[in-house]
Structure 1
């Protein structure tokens, strides 16, 4: 065996054209094997990929029987009670306002009732400031926004500019009062 391996290495060194046998194994399928169709397996009519499941426990069976015996009003209270005891968040409807949902239904030709949505997120905008209190306003902006000195100075100098975005009404009112105390004028948008 050693001799044959040594002989092959000698033939390789002498030239690539003089090889006596291929040195690589072909791992791919042959052309004849590729032309055959793959086997089709028939699944049973009730195919369960997870396999057979054990029957429910006695406790679960009793729970199902007690739920079936409840009235419809009592059954409607099960979901919220479970959600509260398991601390799950309440599911809220997603707004489709502004989305193109395709053609409306035939009955939907009447104009939709406009529902006024109360704004919950506000922006605080620095309108102007007194030149003598510029440094105080810059310090207050730095404290409110966690900006560096240069960034806060640039923000104050390009007034009117938005200082904070998406804050609640109470936070916005507090920010406006702090800027007013420092010598600037801010508004809520």
Structure 2
């Protein structure tokens, strides 16, 4: 048979068993309960007034003070999250190199319009009419999400035939 105390907290069990629990050394009187409740309400109000980043910092600090090694909300351990935050602050100067580019036809020489249309057709699956309409709508994005090497090759070919191309 399971113990009754496994389902009832120890203080509640003692209060139930002993008629005068106020004489116990760990019991709290009504006077002590009110300031404790006010203190907890004040702390709760202060925590709710924090911004999201302050709450994240607080939760990390709280875990560290308690000696817990619980992962933070980002899925990293608290020490790794703190290190990542420090690295992000120092690494803002570094710019991530883009790997995918959009090829934008900015303008073209009027004499080279036919050559530009033919070149646009070589790297897109457009027909003559669609390619002509696209070229006439300059500035227009010809292709999106192209790898760097391919984008540079296409831009070079378009520049050879008299177009001004921007990689975005």
What TM-score does the superposition give when structure 2 sets the normalisation length?
0.47
Which is greater in Rg? Answer: 1
